[in-house]
Amino acid sequence: MDFTFYTLDVFTDHRFSGNPLAVVQDTDALSTEQMQAIAAEFNLPETIFVSKAEKPGHTARVRIFTPAREIPFAGHPTIGVAVLLAELTAPNINGEQDALIVLEQEIGTVRVGVQLAADKPAYAEFKAPKLPKDAGPLPHVDRLAAALRLIPSEIGFENHRPTCFAAGNAFAMVPVANLDAIAKAEVQPAPWADAFEEQGLVGVYLYTRQCEHNTSAFHTRMFAPGMGVPEDAATGSAAVCLAGVIEKFDMPRDGTHRRRVEQGYEMGRPSHIDLTLVVTGGKLEAVRIGGSAVRLAKGTLSTD
């Protein structure tokens, strides 16, 4: 059987940066094993498979795979596939193609607003299907530092301390003192296994307030070797968890708070995620993730 696929760069407004994504169309006939094999073949951080929606009024059912396993939700596939489906299906009205794309994911239904215009890169935003929740303690900072090739004093800043948050996917959230420290972080296999592999985590998300650009609020990196992703250029689901970190340590006032998150710079693939927090009554009420995406390639995949 032959399948049409597209590749996109996500959380960027120009090609060859951001986080690469493969989208495979009309995959109702594919088995889970075939999807996993295809994702491993693409060897991108994630591949998303599109099939017919199960409910009337929804756009599509999608499944998301890393090279190593299926995951229930991820940010950059959600943004990328929504932009692609809008480009392929939304009517053009006076040069604009705004659309609401409704995706059935393993985590639940995710609604994505897409803005398309001839003179601007495509932009999409969705409300996180789950709010971030504290997911338990992490090992002592000495073990975390050894796993990341850092020294203990380079972990933590202000009142921020390592935590674990989950919003469909669980991440170790590790604050790092500055840009120099976060740039030298590396996965150290044996200490990594000791610190993280029994935690049930998707990955480890490092963040610091020092940024490359003054429009950014956080500079981040994400490592997920157990998922087949040595490092990720932009991690929307971890940015959802970052909202939990902001609520816990920064205690924002009631209102809507927008934060730009930069990632991928150490990989040569700069990425920018727009993170929006809505706080009501001192508690996080909603989290939104937004970003641009650009189409790169189209091809045919054969499973025969």
Please tell me which residue in 41, 46, 125, 197 is annotated as part of the active site: 46
Contact 194, 143 (CB under 8 A): yes
- Residue 183, SS3? helix
User: From its phi and psi, is residue 13 left (phi > 0), alpha (psi between -120 and 50) or beta?
Assistant: alpha
User: From its phi and psi, is residue 18 left (phi > 0), alpha (psi between -120 and 50) or beta?
Assistant: left
Beta strand spans in 66-217 (E): 70-71, 99-105, 108-117, 120-127, 133-134, 163-166, 170-175, 203-208
| Residue in 112, 118, 109, 117 with CA at minimum distance from that of residue 99 | 112
* 33 assigned to active site: no
Contact 264, 218 (CB under 8 A): no
Active-site residues, by number, are: 46
